[in-house]
Amino acid sequence: MTVTLLSIFRRREGMSHDEFVDYYETFHAKIGEKVLAGYASAYRRRFTTPFAHEAGPNDPDVVMEIEFPDEATMQAFFASIANDAETAGMIRIDEDKLFDRDSMKVYRLDERVSEMPPVG
């Protein structure tokens, strides 16, 4: 059974949304791709744009999803990071360049899907 983690982050103070997206995709995502390789089946970044209102100070800038094929693979990933101080430190240093650490929230998703009738 697939395990999905959903993370909601805001950019650090003093960084524009465009700078945030550029840095994330140019640098941080590359770190994610490297450390998640062999563990994750998907690594998605969804950058937000407010719909029908102006951005508020607590609005997230990115919703990130990581899918693992199963619980054991997710646990193996976290164990690999916990046992590699150099990689864990590299991730933390890069996160500090990018995120408002106080805003970082991570959720494990328990998904239900409704069958919808065809459109039209």
Three-state SS for 67?
strand
How does residue 32 score in pLDDT terms, banded at 50, 70 and 90? very high
| Helix 29-36 with 85-98: angle, nearest 10 deg | 150
2-15 residue pLDDT tens: 999 999 999 999 99
More confident residue, 26 or 111: 26
Q: Give the per-residue pLDDT at 71.
A: 95
What's the average model confidence in pLDDT over 83-94?
94
56/62 Cα distance (integer angstroms): 14
Distance, in Å, from the CA atom of 46 to the CA atom of 65, rounded to the nearest integer, reads 8
Per the listing, tokens 């193996």 go with 76
pLDDT of residue 89: 94
Q: What torsion do the CA atoms of 62, 96, 39, 106 make, to the nearest 10 degrees?
A: -50
Provide the mean pLDDT of the chain: 94
pLDDT in tens, 44-82: 999 998 887 777 778 899 999 999 999 999 999 999 999
C-alpha distances in angstroms, 95 versus 48, 101, 109, 110? 18, 8, 22, 26
Q: How much is the CA Rg of the chain, to the nearest whole Å?
A: 16
Q: What is the pLDDT of residue 42?
A: 97
CB 46 within 8 A of CB 52: no
Q: What whole-number distance in Å separates Cα of residue 73 and Cα of residue 41?
A: 10
Q: What is the mean pLDDT of residues 86-92?
A: 94
How much is the pTM? 0.87
Mean pLDDT, rounded, for 91-96: 96
